[in-house]
Amino acid sequence: MSHEIKIPSVGESITSATLAAWTKADGAYVKAGEEIVTLDTDKVSTPLEASHDGILKHLAAEGDELDIGAVIASIEEGEAPAESAAETTEAPAESKPEKAPAAKASASDSDVKVTPVARKIADDEGVDVSTVKGTGVGGKVTKSDVLGAASQGTSAAAPAAQADAPAETGGKPTTRRKMSPLRRKIATHLVNAQHDAAILTTFNECDMTEIMNLRKRIQDDFIARHGVKLGFMSFFIKAVVDALQAVPSINAMLEGDELVENHFYDIGVAVGTDKGLMVPVVRDCDKKSFAEIEQDIIDYAVKARDGKIGLSDLQGGVFTITNGGIYGSLLSTPILNPPQSGILGMHSIQQRPVALNGEVVIRPMMYLALSYDHRIVDGKEAVTFLVRVKECLENPERMLLGA
């Protein structure tokens, strides 16, 4: 019996998905519950699992963008093929058909990770896949990679012509590929944020000495008691909650001509992935301990790495924190995450000379940047909010004790 594999609905606003990568080859035997393909939408990446045991047949190629509900594969129920028969039974040498020279793979070609669809196109177009750089999962060569190589004349059959092509055309080497739905959505989201909101950014700096000393003093006990490390992000989330409670106008958003003020504290934490920026939301941060917040962040990091963040993980945040410091950023002006009214940017911690009690001392300093929607938040409120965040971070014991 054959079973169709369709693109599932993953959200009301999502109408299509792109087949990012097959994780099981065409003709492979799969078991129910095994991941067979990864789908990219304009919001998340979604792994799709086999519904039954049987032989998988691909009905769509990597890179195809299809409507929700489209059939992308089928599974023919049956027993797993006997490996021993496949491996040991061979036809007599004289009866084996000879392969055409063009179909034989070179020694290097046989070691290349390549999708079945890409392999077929490479054979048809005469492209040596060993010369193609793969952009798929794990460096796998995909359909789009082969098509791009074919269009540039990357053919093993004509190396001389390939070498001469740049000189004849005067062109420079490039790689062209279609933007993923997620990347297109991010681009649209960021541009709309700048068009629709009156974004202004205010800056301050924070002395990280006390937080660093506190973490050093209690880190071992914290890990022993809670099983997670005490990082910087939980301090920032708690500081933001304190500041939102002190300046509630930043915990508000516009809906039409109405101003909606939130009385809960679900904080988004921007996470960079190989597919783009995502902002999973840590819920009820005012009610959670530092350890619970750290565990939530770890769980999201694992889900982001595995491509398993769902729509529900990304919705409902009231404020966002982004940490450019982990990439070495010294200062930036973050873009709002609509419909939120504020976003806090963290940056690199650097040893800098500062004046303290009339003396110049060296301290670990971090620049803080608050971007806010000036339609909702006045400058005085924004500065008050950022100063409150700074005060909380420079006196972290108050947050730990709930004072």
Catalytic positions:
374, 378
Single-letter residue type at 268:
G
Cβ pair 202, 383 in contact under 8 A:
yes
Q: What token pair was written down for 108? A: 């290097």
How do 65-67 and 71-76 pair as beta strands?
Answer: unpaired
CA torsion 306-180-273-277 (nearest 10°) is -130
How do 2-6 and 71-76 pair as beta strands?
Answer: antiparallel
Q: What token pair was written down for 291? A: 């350890």
How do 319-323 and 342-346 pair as beta strands?
Answer: parallel
Scan for tokens 């998905």, then name that residue: 17
State how far the Cα of 394 lies from the Cα of 399, in Å rounded to an integer.
10
Q: Which of left, alpha, beta for 137 (phi over 0: left; psi -120 to 50: alpha)? A: beta
Alpha helices in 126-272 (DSSP H): 143-151, 159-169, 181-196, 209-226, 233-246
Q: What token pair was written down for 352? A: 């800098």
The conformation of residue 92, written as its DSSP 8-state character, comes to -
Residue 328, H or E segment: none
Q: Which residues contact 378 (CB under 8 A, 6 or more apart)?
A: 249
Q: How far apart are the first and last CA of the chain?
A: 65
